[in-house]
Amino acid sequence: MKKNSYISLLILVISLFSRISAAQENLIQNISARSIISLNGRWNYIIDPYENGYYDYRREAFDQSKSGTGGYFDDKKQEDKSELLEYDFDHSPTLAVPGDWNSQVEKLDLYEGTIWYRNKFTAAPKQGKRYFLYFGAVNYEAHVYLNGKKLGMHKGGFTPFQFDITDRLRAGENSVVVKADNTRKKEEVPTINTDWWNYGGITRDVFIAETPASYISDYQIQLSKGSMGQIEGFIQLSGAEKSQKVTVEIPAAGIKTIVKADTSGRALIKLAVNNLEYWSPESPKLYDVTISTSNDHISDKIGFRSIVTKGKDILLNGKPVFLRGISIHDENPLIAGRARSEGDLRMLLTWAKELNCNFVRLAHYPHNEQMVRLADEMGLMVWAEVPVYWTIAWDNPETYKNAEAQMSTLITRDKNRAAVIVWSVGNETPLSDSRYRFMSNMVTHVRSMDNTRLVAAALEVHRKGFEVIVDDSLGEKIDLASFNEYGAWYWGGTPKELSKYHFNIKYDKPVVITEFGGDALAGFHGDEDTRWTEEYQEALYVSQLNMLSKIDGLRGMTPWILADFKSPRRPHPLYQNFYNRKGLYSETGKKKKAFFILKKFYDDTEKKYNTKSYGASK
């Protein structure tokens, strides 16, 4: 090899090593409880439909080139009047972060592609501390740079991620640049077709968290599977000093235990407990839990409850429970767009409580961590889900890895939340051998990460005459007979004809109807046979509830859906106007007539369960 080419190869190798992106660390548990510098606020942005800021005109990626520069991530300023620079963040407009771009800028309402975000901030990093740049969610693919250097890339529009920036954070001014791209792709998760708006951008909190050099990076502290008298779990330490003593305290439960972490930083706890006040929707007791080592401590609020199935019953803390639920999208109906703040989230859960719910299905993807913490606090059990939705690329190994990674992140993030009782591996996925393998592997993976909760999915159903058959083979693998059915909307004629139908469910498991419903334009009235009227939706709920109440083993439901939401699949100019109108609340917060039908059913069901006259286990 000629000397010159040898030298250029050497330069290339060195430059590649110097730019290996900061590993995307495993998620730090309860990271928002750390000392943080919030980066929420106005970020400058550049719309880049041709990804001109990422590729040169020969479609070579700037950040993979020898110099690793040239892209918008350099955040360059024009230094000399003769200099050619064709972008300028300082003079670009701004977007609010957190917040999707669609709802902030009219021309971005249907935009799919890349938008560059830039935030300039000052920092004063301290010796002996570590710093992590954390994103609550970016939809869908994010490339992140700090001071012109690539930190890494993340895929998945609803899961948090972080980068260790300890060696890259400057004292003084820093520039963080994010390339956010919400382009839908067949092999992604979700795939190209969904019944929700493809809100793009940095949709959840962004901050820098500070920890000691050696820190508590993860922990799980819950009741053992099926136990009411034993707490178990683990604490994971990271950093140089791993094998340390770890103290776990739950003062209100009279617990203080000291364990030793091994050389990998892992400490296990298992301790008998008595007279715990168990978490439940009626009494959402959360205990203050503190974990400490010689140089770090973290506090959390954790509830303790048991959730198991027994035949056709779901037992919460050993007692039969009926899941009085509703499905919810992560969208503020009043100001269409991803929920932006705790206020948005609290409003949605308060609406669910007004319906007398004790359960919410956070469809169809991981919601904001704050939503799940509010459910803990307000007493609402949670069905959590990843967007393995409809026609996923079942045969693509990368697609499976992506789906499994999103599930792992969801479980890692929310495993200490008592409210979460179900991990769902997907929704309405068409039957095939490759889909069965994909979903079965997901179920196995969930159980390997967390055996303390139920595993489910929204199964497929089919009909033969007036028989609605539920025999999806995936049903054998999960803990619930959980499925969607749209009698009197997509099939079955008008509501009064629904009484002809009955169910043939092949599993001896608790039955949870994960979706039923129909559209109504709020304020549009007519007779109950007139589609889109509130009266049609009201009659649909009456006939659905009558039909479903005949199911032996009915133990819950999450009708579709709490509030009208935006969808590109719903264009009817009179009734939809790009809204899916199956909400019980309109997008203006008005309760439709069907709301009161479901509320009465839940009030009656609550009474029956409290008097144990309904489906109680013998």
Contact residues toward ligand GCU (CB under 6 A) are: 195, 364, 427-428, 484, 515, 560, 580, 582
Smallest gap from residue 538 Cβ to ligand GCU (A): 17
Per DSSP, 520 falls in state B
Residue-by-residue DSSP string for 124-160: -PPTTEEEEEEES-EESEEEEEETTEEEEEEE-SS--
Smallest gap from residue 324 Cβ to ligand GCU (A): 20
How many CB atoms sit inside 10 A of residue 448's CB?
A: 9
Smallest gap from residue 582 Cβ to ligand GCU (A): 5
Smallest gap from residue 445 Cβ to ligand GCU (A): 22
**296 vs 515, which CB is nearer to ligand GCU?**
515
Adjacent-strand bridge partners of 301:
288
Smallest gap from residue 518 Cβ to ligand GCU (A): 9
Torsion sign, CA atoms 206, 212, 218, 223: negative
**53 vs 387, which CB is nearer to ligand GCU?**
387
| 31 residue type, one letter | I
**145 vs 516, which CB is nearer to ligand GCU?**
516
Burial track 155-170 (b if 16+ CB lie within 10 A, e otherwise)? bbbbbbbbbbbeebbe
Smallest gap from residue 559 Cβ to ligand GCU (A): 11
**72 vs 560, which CB is nearer to ligand GCU?**
560
The answer to whether the beta carbons of residues 351 and 293 sit under 8 Å apart is no
Residue-by-residue DSSP string for 365-414: S---HHHHHHHHHHT-EEEEE---BSS--TT-HHHHHHHHHHHHHHHHHH
**114 vs 327, which CB is nearer to ligand GCU?**
327
| 46 residue type, one letter | I
Smallest gap from residue 364 Cβ to ligand GCU (A): 6
**431 vs 616, which CB is nearer to ligand GCU?**
431
Smallest gap from residue 565 Cβ to ligand GCU (A): 8
Structure tokens at 609: 């369960």
**218 vs 515, which CB is nearer to ligand GCU?**
515
Q: Using alpha carbons only, give the angle 372, 375, 380 rounded to the nearest 5 degrees.
A: 130
**6 vs 491, which CB is nearer to ligand GCU?**
491
Which residue, judged by CB position, is nearest to ligand GCU in the bound state?
A: 195
The number of C-alpha atoms within 13 Å of 257 and in the hemisphere containing its C-beta is: 20
Which residue in the block uniquely carries the two structure tokens 């992106």? Answer: 21
- 561 in helix, strand or coil? coil
